[in-house]
Amino acid sequence: MSTNTKHQEVEKKTAIFEALSNYDVPTIQRFQKRHKKPDLKNIPGGSGLPLIGHAIPLLRNLHAWMDKGYASHGKIFRINVFGIHDGVLLLGPEANKLVFQNEGKIFSNHLAYDTVLKNLFNNAVLARDFSDHKTLRKTLQAAFKREAIEGHIDIMNPIIKKGLSSWQTGTPIKAMDHLKELLLMTGAEVFLGVKTGPETEKINQAFVNIVDGTADPFRQKAIWFSPYAKGVRGNKYLSAFILKEIPLRRLNPGRDLLSHFCHLTDDEGKGFSDEEICDQILFVLFAAHDTTTSALSAILYALASNQAWQQTLRQEILSLNKEDLAFDDAETMQKTDWTFKEALRMFPALSIFGRYTLEEFEFKGHTIPANTPITISSVFTHYMPEYWSNPHTFDPERFSPERAEDKKDFYQYLPFGGGAHKCLGMHFAKIQAKLFLFHLLKHYQVSKDPKMTEYKYNNIPLTFPTGGLPLTFSKI
């Protein structure tokens, strides 16, 4: 590369970096329209089949596809999905560290996620970068402090208890569908302050449509029956509802997250606009709800498959001798915590994380150019035998202080991401999962058909079991 070309590349990176740091959307959009696709011919793996790339094997079994690529090419190779995401996959803790630490600020979140989230989860904290992201995240963190979560626990205890009591017992039910419905009802009240009723059903359906829209690769609003078009309509419905509620919460706040957001201020004492509140509460609802649904689905399957460990957790819960769970009680549930961690090791809600390069960099002897979509994988790292003993075996005690298998490398275990963009709702998700298991295992035994010998799931957009996860809940 000539000196003049290098100088031009530095100027381009400086311009887009400043635009991202200031969240200068018009400048960012002009950059997105002008940039050219990078030449990735030097990266192993090829671009896959015409038009669809690697989509079929990747969507069929992401983990197996990565294992095969790793065996053939090592820790760096191409990943191409319908030509929409045509970039490079980097594997292992070293890659995770490079991307999450982001020294030199060469990776952008916004340029990686804006297309996926646009018109569905606008202006989300996930899709913000550098100083702009830091300021926004710092303000949002105040809504996830202990006092706020204690208020959420008070809301969740009766909802989850009542919801579980309505589940059919003694015969198989689609556990994930019931779980998703219960957590949507819980989320509507915890996040939006909406009591269960006809309005909740409309809100929940709109939310489901938004999430489904993120997985639509074609993203055409004009195709009115497509998942993306339904998701855009869902966003409009939910946004209108939230914007209507905001003035009421400013005047008369409750203990729900929307009320907290209405009264957050930054270091200069400036609060969010109504539109900012709406955008951020919608994304946090998505991030908290679907990740917890994913984790609890995996836990339910694991407990149904490991009855002895299920009884171990039940004894831990019964030893609390409490009718409802409090914040301090949840902190003492050590073995339940290990179970949550192990489920997220084996089946992390988000199996891959995306970024976008602002300048070229080196990895494992290969030069990755600017303007390249970059992907790293939690699920691949979570199964590397260098770090985990018998990684395909459900073994919560690997997280015990005596074994601490997750402590060998800081970047080997990342169910909630890492670095500056690590999940804001991580502690809330743990509390909600423990609260659900507290009320479930006190009163119910979970079992499955012996013919169900493996956890079948899809990874895109998040990790969810296929077939609704048929399990049997029996009163005890």
**DSSP, residue by residue, 12-27:** HHHHHHHHHHTT-HHH
Task: Count, in order, helices (H) and strands (E) of the chain.
Answer: 18, 12
pLDDT in tens, 245-285: 999 999 999 999 999 999 999 999 999 999 999 999 999 98
Q: Which residues of the chain have pLDDT under 50?
A: none
pLDDT in tens, 426-476: 899 999 999 999 999 999 999 999 999 999 999 888 899 999 999 999 999
* pLDDT at res. 287: 83
Which residues make Cβ contacts (< 8 Å) with residue 48, sequence separation at least 6?
Answer: 54, 55, 78, 80
Determine how β-strand 366-368 pairs with β-strand 457-458. Answer: unpaired
Determine how β-strand 366-368 pairs with β-strand 361-363. Answer: antiparallel
- Give the number of C-alpha atoms closer than 13 A to the C-alpha of residue 133, restricted to the C-beta side: 21
* pLDDT at res. 282: 94
Measured CA to CA, the distance from residue 205 to residue 410 in angstroms comes to 39
**What is Dmax (Cα atoms) for the chain?**
75
Cβ(374)–Cβ(355) under 8 Å? yes
* pLDDT at res. 291: 87
* pLDDT at res. 69: 98
Enumerate domains of the chain plus CATH numbers. 136-475 (1.10.630.10)
pTM here is 0.94
Structure tokens at 337: 């915590």
Measured CA to CA, the distance from residue 467 to residue 302 in angstroms comes to 16
Cβ(355)–Cβ(370) under 8 Å? no
